[in-house]
């Protein structure tokens, strides 16, 4: 069943954003092409690797800002042993709108399941185990599965306070940047055609995370696949980018 399901899976990466938080690095190239790791390879080459290893052969890249550079680098996907097509945004459509645009211009089929991922979240996980979890969720009525960390480390000091009297509060506990027992979205999803039908009902621009995910939760359609918090390396700030620049990402990804 797994092999047959993977043969039907498409991959879609949303890589059309301007990467404003990483300027000046993104002044002349899209975030997806920023070199990362000691390997110095474009970020998208790493984030697509778990899916290529899994066996997904068909991909759609939703491009916008400096998208022609992504097309030049990845071309039709031959050098990666896959087929890559491109859905072009003529204006800012946001993440949900980018998926709808891919459906409307017939780059993405609504009849097949799809894994959705971004270029700026470096996530270490077992793609095969993730898809197995998604398939198990289908038996419980789920239509989508999200990869999430089991916990997350906040960047802030957390206070616990209690009332002393009106307008007077006392700090009874303080922790600097603790691990919080909450699941955090890593930006990786596996969704069924029913979800693509739902996306197609909305008019761009709209965000997948703000419009679609809450609707999936409301309908009881969303399952979760948990990973350790330190298996997720978001790359949204200069500090986060500097961190991944000095890492051996080939080694990071290999230790699933």
Query: What does the domain layout of the chain look like in residue ranges?
Result: 2-148+184-254
pTM above threshold 0.85:
yes
Mean pLDDT of 174-189: 92
Would you tell me how many other CB atoms lie within 10 Å of the CB of residue 40? 8
**What CATH code is assigned to 2-148+184-254?**
3.90.550.10
Q: Does an H or E element contain 98, and which?
A: helix 94-104
Question: Distance (Å, rounded) from C-alpha 210 to C-alpha 217?
Answer: 11
Q: Specify the pLDDT at position 21.
A: 87
pLDDT of residue 179: 87
**Cα(190)–Cα(242) distance, integer angstroms:** 30
Which two structure tokens, joined as six digits, stand for 239?
């500090």
Binned at pLDDT 50, 70 and 90, residue 1 comes out as confident
């Amino acid at each position: 069943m797994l092999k047959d399901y993977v043969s039907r899976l498409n991959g879609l990466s949303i890589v059309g954003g301007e990467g404003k938080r990483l300027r000046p690095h993104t002044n002349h190239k899209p975030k997806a092409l920023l070199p990362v790791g000691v390997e110095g390879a474009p970020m998208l080459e790493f984030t697509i690797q778990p899916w290529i290893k899994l066996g997904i052969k068909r991909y759609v890249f939703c491009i916008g800002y400096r998208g022609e550079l992504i097309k030049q680098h990845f071309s039709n996907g031959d050098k990666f042993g896959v087929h890559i097509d491109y859905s072009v945004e003529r204006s800012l459509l946001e993440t949900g709108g980018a998926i709808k645009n891919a459906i409307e211009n017939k780059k993405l089929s609504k009849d097949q399941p799809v894994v959705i991922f971004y270029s700026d979240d470096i996530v270490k996980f077992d793609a095969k185990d993730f898809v197995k979890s998604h398939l198990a969720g289908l038996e419980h009525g789920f239509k989508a599965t999200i990869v999430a960390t089991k916990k997350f480390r906040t960047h802030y000091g957390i206070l616990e306070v209690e009332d002393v009297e009106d307008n007077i509060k006392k700090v009874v506990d303080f922790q600097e940047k603790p691990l919080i027992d909450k699941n955090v979205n890593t930006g990786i999803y596996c969704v069924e055609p029913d979800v693509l039908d739902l996306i197609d009902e909305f008019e761009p621009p709209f965000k997948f995370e703000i419009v679609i995910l809450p609707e999936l939760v409301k309908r009881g359609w969303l399952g979760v696949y948990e990973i350790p918090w330190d298996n997720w390396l978001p790359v949204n700030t200069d500090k986060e980018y500097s961190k991944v620049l000095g890492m051996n990402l080939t080694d990071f990804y290999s230790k699933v």
